[in-house]
Structure 1
Amino acid sequence: MKITKIFTFDSSHMLDGHDGKCQNLHGHTYSLEITVSDGLIEAGAKAGMVMDFADLKTIVKQTVIEPFDHAFIYHGGNARESQIAALLEGWQMKTLRLNRRTTAENLSVEIFGRLKSAGLPVCSVKLWETPTSCAEYEGN
């Protein structure tokens, strides 16, 4: 059995060295679909549920939304992106360092890993960067 909950957050990023507009610092209102898969709870107040949507919301908010929302997300292995992050941090602005390039594909993998590490039985993460473009990661 699977359930899905949708979230949104706003972040900025850039893809240094990209051969298109995304090389520039820009932002997105991301839409995030989290799907979890597990057996149904058999007894108690949550019987018949994979998990309570409220519990799912709490975990996703703490693990993903709070660190990502309104942050400059950057690839810590990229010198230019790291310089921009240092400047922003000097102004007490929110940044989030990742160990990978901040493509929608890589962000979906990052988010999946964070949720798995938090103990969530996540089976897929779909991250919409625009209303018509998304990346989906289904863990193995």
Structure 2
Amino acid sequence: MKITKIFTFDSSHMLDGHDGKCRNLHGHTYKLEITVSDGLIQGGAKDGMVMDFADLKTIVQAEIINPFDHAFIYHGGNERESQIAALLDGWQMKTLRLPCRTTAENMAALMYGRLKNAGLNVCSVKLWETPTSCAEYEG
């Protein structure tokens, strides 16, 4: 059995060295679809559930939404992106350093790993950058 919960958050990023418009600093309202799978809980207050949607929300909020929302997300291995982040940090603005380029594909995989490490039985993460463009990571 699978359940899915959808979230949104806003972030900015850039893809330094990209050959298109995304090389510029820009933002997205991301849509995030988290799907978890498991057997149904037998007995108790959560009988018949894969998990309580409220519990899923709590984990995703802590692991993904809180760190990513309204942050400048940047690749810590990129000098120019790191310089921009240092400037923003100096102004007490929110940044989030990632160990990879901030493509939707890389971020979906990273989010999957964060949720797995938090003990969630996640089976897929789908991250939408725009209403028509997304990346999906399945473990």
Please say if 1:137 is aligned against 2:133: no
Structure 1 residue 50, shift from structure 2 partner: 0.1
Runs of 4+ in 1 over 3 A off after TM superposition: none
Deviations 1:21-77 (Å, cap 9, x if unpaired)?
Answer: 000000000000000000100110001000000000000001100000000000000
Structure 1 residue 19, shift from structure 2 partner: 0.1
TM-score if structure 1 supplies the norm length?
0.99
Number of residue pairs matched by the alignment: 139
Q: Aligned with 2:18: secondary structure?
A: coil
TM-score if structure 2 supplies the norm length?
1.00
Q: Which residue of 1 aligns with 2:43?
A: 43
C-alpha distance in 1 between matches for 2:80 and 2:43: 54
**Which residue identity does 2:104 align to in structure 1?**
A
C-alpha distance in 1 between matches for 2:83 and 2:119: 34
C-alpha distance in 2 between matches for 1:113 and 1:96: 16
Gaps of 5+ in 1: none
Aligned-residue identity in percent: 84
Please say if 1:56 is aligned against 2:56: yes
Q: How does 1:88-99 map to 2 (within 5 A)?
A: 88-99=88-99
Q: Which residue of 1 aligns with 2:105?
A: 105
C-alpha distance in 1 between matches for 2:109 and 2:88: 25
Q: How does 1:23-38 map to 2 (within 5 A)?
A: 23-38=23-38
Structure 1 residue 6, shift from structure 2 partner: 0.1
Gaps of 5+ in 2: none
